[in-house]
Amino acid sequence: MNNHANKLAITILLIVLTVVLIPVFALRMDPREYEGGRSRDAVARSRRNASSIAVLFGELRTSMSDMMFIKTERYLHSGVAYRPHHDEQLLSVEEMGEEVDHHQAEVGHDHHAHDHSHSHDHHHADDHHHTHEHHGHAGTPTLIPPRDEDYRGFIGRLHRRVKPWRDPDKAHLHTDGTELLPWFRVMTVTDPHYVMGYTLGSWWIARYDRDMALNFIEEGIRNNPNAFQIRMARGFILWRIFREELTDMELLGQVKTDFRDAARLGIAQRPDPQYGPPEEQPGWSLFQEQDLWSACQMRVILEREFGDPERARMLAAEYLQIFPDNEVLAGILHAEE
Amino acid sequence: MNSRAVRLIAGTVLKESLRRREMYVLVFAACSLLAIILSMDFFGLRGLSKFYREISLRVMGLTTAFAVIVLAARQLPRELENRTIYPLLARPIRRAEFLLGKLTGVLLAGILCFALFMFIFVLGSLRMHVHIPWIHFLQHLYLQVLMLAIVATLGFLLSLLVNTDAAITICTLLFLLSAVSSMMLVNLYGYMDWLGRRVLIFLTYFLPQLTLFDLSEKTVHAEQWPPLQASVLLTLSLYASVYIALYFIGALVLFRRKEL
């Protein structure tokens, strides 16, 4: 009895201690303290990740976000686990938007959120189960192999029956992307530096509620002030809104600011090409190079169409020094000449 | 077979598990986690059933499996340590009946744990206006009980071979890594030589493939997939029965050899 009472006392003490210590630890924790794995400068990463909390939870958070990103791909395929084939991480911010539109058009959800002051209380229980067969990716291997490639006999057969599985040669079963949205919320809460979560997530959210998407991007910019792709995502979303009526000049000003800031940040971060192609250097990828390319292009085009053509020409000349192969910029420069 | 003795022992295990309150703590902790996640605002969208189902089923499965593993692996060592086994075995109860009673009790505790979760899951679904795919859901629960029976009998066997902590650790690892290990075996096969492939085939049949008892993914995407056919459920039941019987017999042999 005495022993039992001692154990109870120790347990209560531990609970009280935990409750008291949680705020103390929480004060020392900053969810933005950690810079995760993908495509980030190794030196900067190691400097920021020096805190013990970052060491303890940092890699786990990055890995969790990566896993959640894979989960979104499975949700789009009715739960079927294919080998990664969407390559969103290789798509530029603009292409992500096109891919989202294309996917939703396939499953019969090709409406956009037009109303800027959209109701936030959507109810999607009845309309998000559209399914569509997509032949484009047929042939992509599944993680669970088909019968003729599986050595496991009846265990393999059961595996294919119990899990969502489809013959890899058949068209993919694409479903509506509404159900992905919670994963974008959770993956960016888990790792606030998951830039791709913000960029791709904002395209998906923008289909249902542009205000929400813009709030989400704001949060992404607050957490990642140097991530130029998030500013680009906002620029593109606002650009789409502006294109609908072409009247809101304040909005256009914001679009121009976003592309200007994105171009500036991107150029500052781009590795020096004298050491080889930037996309082949550490800390920079092909999709970052493509994004920077289109940020510069957009800035020049917007300046030419809605601003000062002379300034557009100067900008084109400036950016052509960075991207000498960009035919659009070259065209603008020569046309103005 | 003295079914009354089995019932009596099972009832004792169930009462003991309720008295120790570990299960309540686990269920409470899991429900709190669920409540925190589900109270998050997902951009004002309502009726997002897949995320709710996914998180609920994962938390439900993990918590119940962990409760059952701990309960099963502790049963025999605790009886031996506390010497409470002597008055029990002094009665006309065979060791097989004793072990079966223990297994039944542990499984009943697991089912009770599931029932608590199910109640909360259904309440949450009604509140969130989320459709419950009942057939998928019940098939998933049935398969999970089969999986728990495998894990519990393995827990009994291991607790007689190694110490309690090791038994809990091995069972937990087997459960947690089941999905990964199944995929790993399949994917490694193509890279192996003749001997390596024989080892993989041995491991595939030697280790119970617990991932086969996880219907959660089809339950999450129930709108796109029909429920399992009766023949698949029957095959899975037979598959589970083989491992349950083997582990149970193994545990019984060791238990009989144990000098009390």
Rounded CA Rg of chain A: 24
Q: Which of A163, A179, A185 sits opposite B217 (nearest CB)?
A: A163
Q: State pLDDT tens for residues B167-220.
A: 999 999 999 988 888 888 888 888 889 998 999 999 999 999 999 999 999 999
Alpha-carbon span B140 to B147, nearest angstrom: 10
Other Cβ atoms less than 10 A from the Cβ of A327: the count is 8
Cβ contacts (< 8 Å) between A120 and chain B: which residues?
Answer: 43-44
Q: Which two tokens stand for residue A283?
A: 């800390």
Q: Look at residues A159, A163, A167 and name the one whose alpha carbon lies nearest to residue A139.
A: A167
For chain A, helix, strand, coil in percent to 5 are 65, 5, 30
Q: For residue A309, how many other CB atoms are within 10 A of its CB?
A: 13
Helix, strand, or coil here: A158?
Answer: helix
CB contact under 8 A, B46 and A123: yes
Residue whose entry in the numeric block shows the structure tokens 């291997």: A141
User: Tokens in use for A254?
Assistant: 């914001």
* Residues B72-108: tens digit of each pLDDT: 999 998 888 888 888 877 777 888 999 999 999 999 9
* Chain A contact for B203 (CB, 8 A cutoff): no
pLDDT digits (tens, 9 = 90+) for A225-258: 989 999 999 999 999 898 887 778 888 999 999 9
Q: What ipTM does the predicted assembly reach?
A: 0.91
- Residue B1 C-alpha, separation from nearest chain A C-alpha, in angstroms: 34
Reply yes or no on whether the pLDDT at A278 is more than 90.
no
- Range with the largest mean pLDDT of B82-91, B158-167, B240-249: B240-249
The whole-number pLDDT of residue B138 equals 94
Q: Which of A123, A131, A205 sits opposite B47 (nearest CB)?
A: A123
Element (H, E) at B178: helix B178-189
- By CB neighbour count within 10 A (0-12 exposed, 13-18 middle, 19+ buried), where does B186 fall? buried
Question: What pLDDT does A123 receive?
Answer: 44
Collapse the DSSP code of A303 into the 3-class scheme (helix H, G, I; strand E, B; otherwise coil) and give the result. helix
| Pairwise CB contact (< 8 Å): B211 & A131 | no
Q: Chain-wide mean pLDDT for chain A?
A: 77
Q: Is the CB of residue A162 less than 8 Å away from at least one CB of chain B?
A: yes
- Interatomic CA distance for residues B77 and B80, integer angstroms: 5
Strand partners, A173: A133
For A160, the token pair is: 């294919």
Question: Which conformational region is residue B219 in: left (phi greater than 0), alpha (psi within -120 to 50 degrees), or beta?
Answer: alpha
A196 — pLDDT class (breaks 50, 70, 90):
confident
Closest CA to B53 of B115, B114, B118: B118
Long-range CB contact pairs, A26-29, < 8 A, 24+: A28/A53, A29/A53
Which residues, at least 6 apart from A293, have a Cβ–Cβ distance to it below 8 Å? A323, A326
Is B239's pLDDT higher than 60?
yes
Q: Give chain B's largest Cα–Cα span.
A: 64
What's residue A54's pLDDT? 55
**Letter string b/e over residues B215-237, b meaning 16 or more CB atoms within 10 A of that residue's CB:** bbbbbbbbbbbebbeeebbebbe
User: Cα torsion for A117, A119, A120, A122, to the nearest 10°?
Assistant: -140
Q: Which pLDDT does position A119 carry in this prediction?
A: 39
Per-residue confidence band for A55, with pLDDT thresholds at 50, 70 and 90? low
Q: How much is the pLDDT for A126?
A: 43
Q: Which two tokens stand for residue A305?
A: 């169409």
Bridge partners (DSSP) of residue A175 are: A131
CB A209 to CB B43 under 8 A?
A: yes
CA distance A181 to A205: 7
Inform me whether the C-beta atom of residue B58 falls under 8 Å from chain A C-beta atoms.
no
Q: Is A113 on the interface with B (CB under 8 A)?
A: no
Tell me if B184 sits within 8 A of B209, measured CB to CB.
Answer: no
The nearest CA of chain A is from the CA of B98 a distance in Å of 28
Among residues A151, A207, A152, A150, the alpha carbon closest in space to that of A177 is found at A207
In 3-state terms, what secondary structure has residue B45? strand
Helix (H/G/I), strand (E/B), else coil: B92: coil
C-beta separation of A286 from A292 below 8 A: no
B 116-135: CB under 8 A from A: 129-131
Most confident region among A66-75, A86-95, B2-11, B232-241 by mean pLDDT: B232-241
Is B42 an 8 Å CB contact of chain A? yes
Burial (0-12, 13-18, 19+ Cβ within 10 Å), A12: exposed
Which chain A positions have a beta carbon within 8 Å of B131's beta carbon? Answer: 125
